[in-house]
Amino acid sequence: MIKMVRLVSTLVVITSAAWLTACSNKPMTKEVPVAKVDPAIVAAGKAIATGRSKGNCLACHMIEEGESPGNIGPPLIAMKARFPDKAKLRAQIWDATAVNPESAMVPFGRLQVLSDDEIDKVVEYIWTL
Amino acid sequence: MDPVEPMQTQLLTATGRETMKKLLISLAVLLITAVSAQAGPEEDRMAFIKYYKSKFPNVPMEEYANGAYAIDPVGRENWEAIEEFPPYEPFIDRGQVMWETPFANGKGYKDCFPDGPVIAHHYPHWDKKQKMVMTLPLALNQCREANGEKPLKYKKGPINNILSYIAFQSRGQVVNVKVPMDDPDAVAAYEDGKKFYFTRRGQLNFSCASCHVQNTGLKVRTEILSPSVGHVTHWPTYRSKVDWSTVGTLHRRFTGCNKNIRAKPMKAQGPEYRNLEYFLSYLSNGLELNGPGARK
Amino acid sequence: MSLLDKHSIRQSENLERTMKSVQRWVAAAIVIGLMVGSTALLAGEMKVDAATASEAIAQAEAAQKKADSVNGEWRDTGKFIKNAKKAAEAGDYAKAIRLAKKAESEGNLGYQQAVSQSELKIPSYFKAMYQ
């Protein structure tokens, strides 16, 4: 019985924490270090990144196995080596013009093309490339 | 006292004055060139040509009238095959009928445009009387309205027929847009078009320049981004993409571009797009008109 | 014990007392703040009614108008407002408010985007061509 209560309360704490993170509208949500990434999140990120209506990363970037990619931006390869700091990769996707005002990259977060949650998922996916 | 002394002083002051004058003149010249280097239409056009020449050193100037096909050998092959049986041909024929058929009052386009139908190269131009950029579609509708006819829609439909006929008849004429520099309103209209061109807009935050200058020659998905020199020579244009499959106007194309970057498009033939057309057309000065065009 | 020592003791006693009262006040403020804040939050989330929806739509329309006044309106802002109105008419106030908020924030962003570029600035990748 006590075990059950503990389990339920832990679950409640976790879900409410997740809910809070998802709801906070801050542009730079701090990444919670996670040992291994849920493959479901990576898959969701891939769907957003490669789909035409959402991230549409392929419009400008080559991605391995991605069909008809553009070449305006650099190919998305060796991302962990290029962005050892995941937060920097997230910041680049959120608003590339913050670092380089003349960047042609869409400010996906700043101009609300993607939600914070969607960007988190895309970051997880891109980081696997 | 040395009698020569006053003479010398005088001479000195004279040379001093001369130097002063020269200095002032050169300063003024410097100022003028500094200002004009930023603004003048001819300086803009030369800057665009210089930019594209450095990007595509092997593309001859006259090729720019062919848009992306000047820099896209694969697309070009496809395009040349399409041009063997031009999809815009029926529209030219319908346009000729329009040109020759009188309005209800007995007059016709011929009365409004006595030099016609070879008139496409006279547009766009600065209309001093109406204090605005006059485009060919607008002039055609002003002719219609002056004769009691309803104006035609500016993006789709029959306006494209008469524009196709005029464009076809005007093939080989040279783009020669003038901005009367002594008319501040004309200069302001040109500058307004230039400002539009370089302004980022829409949720995707692109300016015309983001794609057609910064990234010309690169691909969005499979499409090669065209240079802006040559953008205006081939209108109206038959586009084979599904939601066109017909001939459309330049302002319809502007609308499509703005929608692609998720900006609310401006009104076709409104001041913003007409001024943009003015700026963009000036960049193509010296190129031959080759409309109607065929594109993907 | 010297006078000086007595003085410092009194001083530290005073300090302690002040600290305690400050602590009490801060704690009270936090509790009150939390209460007020959470009620406000609850109220804000609970008010999903026709009045809130129409207020949100009015704010969205104002933001859209502001963006349009500087030619900075985005493509879908009008569509969101239209759909918000439809949802409100159908009684789906939550949807109406969500869409209206989205439209309002687009209007604000579009306005900022245009205003931040009110002066023509030739980008550096092209500026060099004028020399």
Q: What is the pLDDT of residues C98-118, one digit of tens each?
A: 999 999 999 999 999 999 999
- Ranking B72-86, C24-38, C76-90 by mean pLDDT, the lowest is C24-38
Say if residue C94 is in the same domain as residue C34: no
Specify whether C52 is located in the same domain as C88. yes
Q: What CATH superfamily is the domain B42-85+174-295? A: Cytochrome c-like domain (1.10.760.10)
pLDDT for C131 equals 84
In this complex, which of B203, B205, B220 lies closest to A72 when CB atoms are compared? B220
Sorting pLDDT into bands at 50, 70 and 90, what band is B15? low
Contact B50 C75 (CB under 8 A): no
Helix (H) or strand (E) holding B219: strand B219-220
Interface contact A59-B203, CB threshold 8 A? no
Asked if the model's pLDDT at residue C4 lies above 80, the reply is no
Question: Are B198 and C106 a contacting pair at CB < 8 A?
Answer: no
- In chain B, the N- to C-terminal Cα span, in Å, equals 92
Residue C84 lies in a domain: yes
Higher-pLDDT residue of A11, B146: B146
If asked whether residues C40 and C55 sit together in one domain, one would say no
Q: What percent of chain B has pLDDT over 70?
A: 87
Task: Note the pLDDT of residue C18.
Answer: 60
B260 interfacial to chain A (CB closer than 8 Å): no
ipTM: 0.84
Q: Determine whether the interchain pair A111/C124 forms a contact, defined as Cβ–Cβ distance below 8 Å.
A: no
Amino acid residing at B95: G
- Which structural domains are found in chain A, ordered by start? 26-126 (1.10.760.10)
Residues 66-125 of C with CB under 8 A from A: 102, 105-106, 109, 113, 123-125
In whole angstroms, give the CA distance from residue C80 to residue C106. Answer: 10
Is residue A60 within 8 angstroms of chain B, CB to CB?
yes
Separation in Å, CA of A112 to nearest CA in chain C? 8
Quote the tokens at residue A45: 């990120």
Of residues C25 and A90, more confidently modeled: A90
Say how far residue B70 (Cα) sits from the centre of its chain: 18
pLDDT digits (tens, 9 = 90+) for B226-260: 999 999 999 999 999 999 999 999 999 999 999 99
C16 and C61 housed in the same domain? no
Between CA A54 and CA A125 the distance in angstroms is 14
Residues in chain A: 129
Residue B181 has pLDDT above 50, yes or no: yes
Residues 6+ apart with CB under 8 A from A78: A129
Helix, strand or coil for residue A70?
coil
Q: Residue C74 sits in which domain range? A: 47-115
Q: How many domains does chain C have?
A: 2
| C58 and C111 fall within a common domain | yes
Residues C85, C100, single domain; the answer is yes
Q: Which 3 state secondary structure label does DSSP give B134?
A: strand
Weakly modelled stretches of chain A, pLDDT under 50 = 1, 7-8, 10-30, 34
Round the average pLDDT of chain B to a whole number and report it. 91
Residue B220 pLDDT > 90:
yes
Chain B (44-83) residues lying within 8 Å, Cβ to Cβ, of chain A:
none
Based on the fold, state whether residues C24 and C74 are members of the same structural domain. Answer: no
Structure tokens, B125: 């131009």
Catalytic residue numbers of B? 257
Written as six digits, the tokens of C85 are: 């109105």
Alpha-carbon distance of B26 to A129, in angstroms, equals: 59
Interchain CB distance below 8 Å, A97 and B206: no
Say if residue C110 is in the same domain as residue C51. Answer: yes
Among A71-80, B15-24, B189-198, B263-272, which is the least confidently predicted range? B15-24
